[in-house]
Structure 1
Amino acid sequence: MLYWINAFIFLVIGIYALSHQKSSISPAFCAIFSLTSLIMALFQMSNWLPIFILRYFLYLVSAVLLAIVPFILLALGILILLRETKQSISYFGRALSTILASVILTFFVYSLYNLVNIRDVQLTIIISLYSSIAIYFTAFFISYLLISWLIKVSYKKKQPYLIFVLGTDINDEGQVKSDLKHRLNSAITFYRSLSSVIQNETYFLVSGGNAAANGMTEAEVMAHYLMKQGINKSQIILEKSARNTTENIQFTKPLIRHLGKDRSLVIVTSTYHLPRTSFFARKYQVPARYIGSKTAIISWPYAVVREFLAILLLTKEVSVFYIVYIIVTEFYKIFM
């Protein structure tokens, strides 16, 4: 029942955020958790054959997850602690993160103990518990992928644009790598689809400060690539200090306010990166629409998993709530 309620609550909050542009609430994250809750509810209550089959398939593979999930939780707990020690947050925020990490790490110790002393516990308890956690992570991952694809749906306006391209890794020689090249090409394709009149009033904003071995920043490398593709230097604005997604949005906000008065902002990044980008755009009150670029097949799995973990950390409070609820529910079923 709780999953149905959560799905409805996150849906309502997401609709509110969409209708109030000045709200710092991320509609994308609300959509992810609403969809995750809906999937969890269906897994628990639906007897539809495909869901029935998938549910029991996960029960079967949970024998493997017995050896994996504890270490996933260990990594999540450690990442929460490391992330918070690197950031300047309030005492309450640090205390909350410590509590959340402690809950996860305590459950890791409990899980490890059960693995070592498997004869002393009912195997069905552990399988049921980890199957439920596996279903949650699976539902979250599916929701993340679906919302990533939905965010990039956009439409053109008959007005000039500010095309904001987020930087990512460059090689030691100061050349664009595959992911960044796809982002820039998507931005150029969008630019060339505009009428010549609108093109003349459209600007590119490139952000990235991680320097290559030759000293060139991501922004400088991106600007050089755009000029090689025929974009006028006078139409390219550089932000050369940002080291991550948060700073991409934060450091460019003054430029966006100045250049975006008569222009529609469109942010270009990799499709898998869109939910987190939209989260920070909302946080820093930067209204935008989005274009998602493709990712090379060979690097897609690593990029998506890394981004998924980053989103888990951003939403750790909600995820830990779900995990604790799953644990309590499973033990209640067994002992009550």
Structure 2
Amino acid sequence: MFALMIGVVLLGWLGLRVYREPRRIGNGVLLLIAAAFCVLGLIELDSESPVSIAVVLLLAASPLVLLILAGLLMMNGVQMWRREGRRPANLLSFGLGVAMLLPYALFIVAFELEWEWMTAVFGSVLLVECYLGFILLAFLVYSWVYLRLPYRRGMSAIVVHGSGLIGARVPPLLAARLDKALEVHAAETAAGRTPVLVTSGGKGSDEDVAEADAMADYVVGRGFPAEGVLREDRSATTRENLLYTAGMLAARGMSGPMVLVTSNFHALRTGILARRLGLDATVVGAETAFYYLPSAILREYVAILVEHRWTNALICAALAALPLLAMVAVRY
């Protein structure tokens, strides 16, 4: 019962945090902790209930789930390599699958051979892996929640972030963002607003034109008025998308909130970055082809870890030290 009370209190705190500022990865961490306490509380109340039994079975099967996930990631890596080209970034999911399996295998070998110190070392690696898995789960769950938060109308600008061209052609990933932006603009127009549409993206070394120009041509070709489009054609990163666009709008005397349109996997990190830059911005995400999601999500996840690198490094170091300290305490 006490655990359930803690869970309910944490959920209330989470609701307040999300209301005040939804663009925080910490909200996802708090959500998982609150959910864990609620589950423990439900098990305390009635360990014989179907829900409690299901939770226990899920926890018991978690090693198998990890093995299945590792296998799926490796299969996705092969699929990305075939469909999206032979680039290192497309092997991220394959590499993660291997990385997930290797510590378990080495830990089991060391334990069976009674190599005590090696068992402690691989135990340290597993604790770090569990922490990183927890953060990945928090990112995934809260990204799903963030994309479903109520959208507030009344935007002064709709900003579409570029994602790369094929020569001068808009590929499906970017087309989905532009179609979503047109959908948002139609909703704003129906509510009596006429926000400007900003296409944001510079020219890459392997592109024939600036992304902003190709994006503008795409929406104009679908009936959007050319005079309603602004082109930000200098940026090469999401940060530059935001900074250059904000500067361009300010130079034209345009103020007020903006909505940032990107892919669903990129929405939460875009929102976090906009908050850090002090921008009044809401983010909406366009749908992405399923096969593309694992590698894309992993890139976002790694970026989140890097942005909070010192906190993550400290926690990982503390966790890694625990099995080694336990071994020292037992042996000496």
Where in structure 1 are there 5+ consecutive unaligned residues? 66-109
2: CA distance between counterparts of 1:291 and 1:256? 20
Asked if structure 2 preserves the Cα contact closer than 8 Å seen for 1:206 and 1:238, the reply is yes
Q: Deviation at 1:260?
A: 7.5
Partner in structure 1 of residue 224 of structure 2: 231
Partner in structure 1 of residue 165 of structure 2: 170
Partner in structure 2 of residue 31 of structure 1: 27
1:44 and 1:63, CA in 2 relative to 1: closer, same or farther beyond 3 A? farther
1:51 and 1:322, CA in 2 relative to 1: closer, same or farther beyond 3 A? farther
Instruction: Give the alignment partner of residue 308 of structure 2, picking from 305, 315, 332.
Output: 315
Instruction: Give the alignment partner of residue 137 of structure 2, picking from 142, 148, 162.
Output: 142
1: CA distance between counterparts of 2:298 and 2:37? 24
Partner in structure 2 of residue 242 of structure 1: 235
Asked if structure 1 preserves the Cα contact closer than 8 Å seen for 2:165 and 2:207, the reply is no
Asked if structure 2 preserves the Cα contact closer than 8 Å seen for 1:162 and 1:259, the reply is no
Asked if structure 2 preserves the Cα contact closer than 8 Å seen for 1:36 and 1:136, the reply is no
Instruction: Give the alignment partner of residue 190 of structure 1, picking from 184, 193, 200.
Output: 184
The C-alpha deviation readout for 1:174-229, integer Å capped at 9, x for no partner, is 11112111111111111122335735x32011111133645311111111111111
Q: Deviation at 1:330?
A: 3.5
1:16 and 1:301, CA in 2 relative to 1: closer, same or farther beyond 3 A? closer
2: CA distance between counterparts of 1:50 and 1:207? 47
How do 1:283-302 and structure 2 match up within 5 A? Answer: 283-302=276-295
Q: What SS is found at the alignment partner of 1:298?
A: helix
Asked if structure 2 preserves the Cα contact closer than 8 Å seen for 1:267 and 1:291, the reply is yes
Q: Deviation at 1:134?
A: 3.2
Q: Deviation at 1:43?
A: 10
Q: What SS is found at the alignment partner of 2:151?
A: coil
Task: Indicate the larger mover: 39-48 or 293-302.
Answer: 39-48
How large is the RMSD of aligned CA atoms in angstroms?
A: 4.2
Q: Does 1:154 align with 2:150?
A: yes
The letter for the 1-side match of 2:142 is I
Q: What SS is found at the alignment partner of 1:34?
A: helix
Aligned-pair identity in percent equals: 21
1:179 and 1:302, CA in 2 relative to 1: closer, same or farther beyond 3 A? same
Where in structure 2 are there 5+ consecutive unaligned residues? 1-5, 44-51, 70-102
Partner in structure 2 of residue 181 of structure 1: 175
Asked if structure 2 preserves the Cα contact closer than 8 Å seen for 1:15 and 1:27, the reply is no
Q: What SS is found at the alignment partner of 2:285?
A: strand
Task: Indicate the larger mover: 308-317 or 210-219.
Answer: 210-219
TM-score w.r.t. length of structure 2: 0.68
1: CA distance between counterparts of 2:292 and 2:67? 29
TM-score w.r.t. length of structure 1: 0.68
2: CA distance between counterparts of 1:136 and 1:252? 37
Aligned length: 281
